[in-house]
Structure 1
Amino acid sequence: MDALSAACTALLGSAPRSIEALHGGDLSEVSRVVLQDGRTLVAKAGPLVAREGRMLAAIRAAGAPVPELFGEQAGILLMEALDAAPETPRSWPQFGEDLARLHTHRGTQSGWAEDYAFGTVPIANAPLDDWPRFWAERRLLPFLPHLPTALAPRLERLSTRLAERLPDTATSLLHGDLWRGNTLAGRGGRIHLIDPASYYGDGEVDLAMLHLFGGPGPGFTEGYGPLAPGWQARRAVYSLFPALVHLRLFGEGYRGMVERFLTNAGA
């Protein structure tokens, strides 16, 4: 019996009848599985899916919608198959409320108990009490060895000034990779979170990512609520991280984005 069949049988009591490959992320293979008993689910296979499952469970416990989890075995995570539904006028205002609720869930430090990765880019999460230090040491400075010579000193200078720009502590539960491709409208048009890279930090990190590629739908901002003064300056600092990830993964086409955020952040 192959690993997927074994996981389905052990966790759900039924073997696969059909398996359809779906588009997945950088870390896992994703399949839509129809079981012999007629149930449909999504299976993700990869080295970090157990960590993903723990992140999804934390998000669900905080009151934000995610697919139902059926369990993980031998590197295979089984979860509810969300059939994409049309968005409604309430979809994005509701999502703003759901995300704000997620961000009210607090940890004790910035970071997460386990490291993660985006493809070949490792993501260090070791917790710290100091949020500016966390953002510098865990999110920006690891990219220095991989940057063009002209950009590295600017990033290093910015990292030394984060205490002036970011809150001292930040312990909101984050999705961690919140672009629109990691949201999915499910039952009733309610938007669910998928593919997290969670840790505790400033909720504005999720907002920066959500506005990086396309932005949220209508009504989201009103649903989420007002931000603390100075959010515009912080957004450039927070947007740097995904820009750096894209530059390292996909090359020079993202250099202009990194340069723009460095400039907007005053570096």
Structure 2
Amino acid sequence: MTTELQESWYAEVAAVFGSEVAETKPVQGGDISEVLHVRLEDGQELAVKRGPYVGTEARMLQAMSVAGAPVPTVLHQGGRLLCLDWLEETGASPAGWKALGKGLRILHNVESGEYGWIEDYSLGSVPMLNGAQEDWPSFWAENRLMPMTEGIPRDLAARVYTLARTLGDRLPEKPQAALLHGDMWSGNALFSGKEAWLIDPACYHGHAEVDLAMLELFGTPDAAFWDGYGSEEPERSERTAVYQLWPALTHLRLFGESYRGMVERLLDSVGA
């Protein structure tokens, strides 16, 4: 028996797509929104997301689509409901990794005049403050690292604060303000045959290396990814740990002490 809440969004889907919901299956993930694979009675398949930030996600996906990046199509968004076309996942291959590199490069080629985004966002209970900043070290310090000092152990907070105060010497002042995916780990790439799609974005404009550092935090991209992405900036490796620290801190806040060691290693590597 469906609940009254289910009946409400079932009815909305039926009204929009002209077919009743026949079957729903939960999809792995959903830290920010509930994600379902939905099959309608007419055979159409949808990815349905329900949560407080789906409107923001829809606007991000649309911006990425306009840029030409490979993303699922937004079919409907209203209130807490987002409907996307269903993409069948087949697993990563070298061709898929190369496609991901090409897609991410397309995204990063879109440039803005300032760092940030038109609205704030959130990864679970961790806010992403996207207010514009004129220079990049200020954005990374004020919008990313400093807000983390209130939600982590005091000894780590002191080290993060110290690092944040030195970013003017560690990061370029005004790199290209590229359009970022913002949460670019391999779980947010959907591989289907020779294609790869960018999903679950947390967009803002910033240094392209942020996405690359995130992608390397929990694994090593296939060499074909770099064939697709193209050249990297000089001395990128010297900045990687600074950029990896924010997602590491996010995981510490969301999932607890098991990520403390990762945070400490990154702080050690930058001498903070």
Q: 1:20: how far off?
A: 1.6
- Partner of 2:40 in structure 1? 35
Task: State the 4+ residue runs in structure 1 displaced beyond 4 angstroms.
Answer: none
CA shift digits 1:117-137 (9 cap, x unpaired): 111111111111211101001
Preserved contact between residue 117 and residue 204 of structure 2 (Cα < 8 Å): yes
> Residues 68-79 of structure 1 correspond to what in structure 2 (within 5 A)?
68-79=73-84
Per the alignment, residue 20 of structure 1 pairs with: 25
Number of the residue aligned with 2:249: 244
Q: Residue 103 of structure 1 is aligned with which of 95, 101, 108? A: 108
Q: Is contact 1:87-1:190 (8 Å) kept?
A: no
Q: Give the superposition deviation at 1:238.
A: 0.1
Deviations 1:36-87 (A, max 9, x none): 2111111000000011111111111111111111010121000011111254
Cα distance in 1, alignment partners of residues 128 and 162 from structure 2: 21
- Please say which of residues 22-31 and 113-122 is displaced more in the overlay: 22-31
Measured against aligned partners, the alpha-carbon deviations of 1:199-253 in whole angstroms (never above 9, x if no partner) come to 1101100001101111222311222122222211110100000000011111111
Distance in 1 separating the partners of 2:226 and 2:94: 14
Contact 1:11 1:70 in 2 (8 A): no
Within 5 Å, which residues of 2 pair with 1:42-121? Answer: 42-121=47-126
Distance, in Å, in 1 between the alignment partners of 2:82 and 2:8 is 11
* 2:188 equivalent in structure 1: 182
Are 2:178 and 1:172 aligned?
yes
SS at match of 2:248: helix
When the two chains are superposed, the root-mean-square deviation of aligned CA atoms in Å is 1.5
1:88 Cα offset (Å): 4.0
Which amino acid counterpart does residue 39 of structure 1 have in structure 2? Q
State the TM-score, normalized to the length of structure 2.
Answer: 0.93
Secondary structure (helix, strand or coil) at the match of 1:33 reads strand
Judge conservation of contact 2:94–2:222 (CA < 8 Å) in 1.
no
User: What is the 5 A alignment of 1:102-181?
Assistant: 102-169=107-174, 170-181=176-187
Q: TM-score, normalised by structure 1?
A: 0.95
- Secondary structure of the equivalent of 2:48? strand
C-alpha separation in 2, matches of 1:99 and 1:216: 13
Q: Sequence identity of aligned pairs in percent? A: 47
1:256 counterpart SS class: helix
Per-residue CA distance 1:99-128 (angstroms, 9 max, x = gap)? 111101012211111111111111111111
Asked whether the equivalents of residues 115 and 136 of structure 2 are also in contact (C-alpha less than 8 Å), the reply is yes
Please identify, of 82-91 and 141-150, the stretch whose mean Cα deviation from structure 2 is larger. 82-91
Does the C-alpha gap of structure 1 residues 254 and 132 become closer, same or farther in structure 2, counting only changes over 3 Å? Answer: same
